[in-house]
Amino acid sequence: EKKHGFNKQTPQLFFTDKVKGLLLTCVFGGPFVALLLKIIKMGGESFYIYVWAFTFVFSVFMMTIVPVVIMPLFNKYEPLPEGSLKEQIYELAGRLEFPLTKLFVMDGSKRSSHSNAFMFGFFKNKRIVLFDTLMEQVHDDEILAILGHELGHWKMGHTVTNFVISQLYTGASFYCFSLCFNSHELYRAFGFNDESRPVPTIIALLLFFQTIWAPIDKALSYIMTVFSRKCEFEADKFSVDLGMSQKLQSGLCK
């Protein structure tokens, strides 16, 4: 990143990001792991069902607070100024029946010269964020073409599909873990020979996910990469079908 002139992060910003990340890990990660271990311990043979329900609720909770609470700790979000671009974005959203409520500009330039745009929000409260680098590097009609791509992901249900897949993945992984959780043979293979002393749950989780589940995870990751590429091509085609082919090409090449 630095070699090619993309990295704009200062040592001070790097350090403060690390500190904030560590604090957030303690605030959210610590209680999450503690509750997860408690559920596994108290859930009986069907603990994977309770674990799945817990991770589902936690995922929705994090999806709700990350854009409005956590991300503003790292970047500044300002309303997109009034003007032609704002009007055109709302017009595009209206054409596609995208329930856009707010438009923001994010100061991504303080970390990188890369440009991007993304959406967040549930149901009828959708928001779009544009990187300030995107607005500096491309023209307004190219921004609209890029947003056509992003809105294509929403229109074709890619975001919901990926969320469902992630939940199925979590459920499947913990179900498989439940099949191995009480396997003394597994633990003996790693040197835990004393069956009178139960293996700590956190150790059991690490052994399972780093050994037994790891090759399965690699295979699934490859499949998801193929699926992700398929979604990207479909989103590109969606923007092209909106009549933005040339502007999408020129915008993505900058």
How open is the CA angle 22-23-25, to the nearest 5 degrees? 65
pLDDT digit string, tens, across residues 64-100:
888 889 999 999 999 998 999 999 999 999 999 999 9
Q: How far apart are CA 231 and CA 163, in angstroms?
A: 14
3-state secondary structure of 202: helix
The pTM for the full model equals 0.83
- Among candidate residues 83, 95, 227, the one with its CA nearest the CA of residue 152: 95
* Active site annotation includes 236: yes
* Contact (Cβ atoms closer than 8 angstroms) between residue 45 and residue 178: yes
- Residue 131: which H helix or E strand, with range? strand 126-131
Which pLDDT value is given to residue 234?
94
| Average pLDDT for 152-162 | 92
Is 185 a residue of the active site?
A: no
* Mean residue pLDDT across the chain: 89
- Which residue among the candidates 45, 194, 236, 241 is catalytic per the annotation? 236
Query: What is the pLDDT at residue 216?
Result: 94
Q: Are 110 and 9 in contact (CB under 8 A)?
A: yes
Min mean pLDDT across 3-17, 83-97, 221-235 is at 3-17
Distance separating alpha carbons of residues 193 and 135, to the nearest angstrom: 61
pLDDT for 192-225, tens place per residue?
877 777 788 999 999 999 989 999 999 999 999 9
**Catalytic one of 87, 91, 140, 150:** 150
What is the mean predicted confidence (pLDDT) over 10-24?
A: 92
Low-confidence winner among 78-82, 149-153, 176-180, 190-194 (lowest mean pLDDT): 190-194
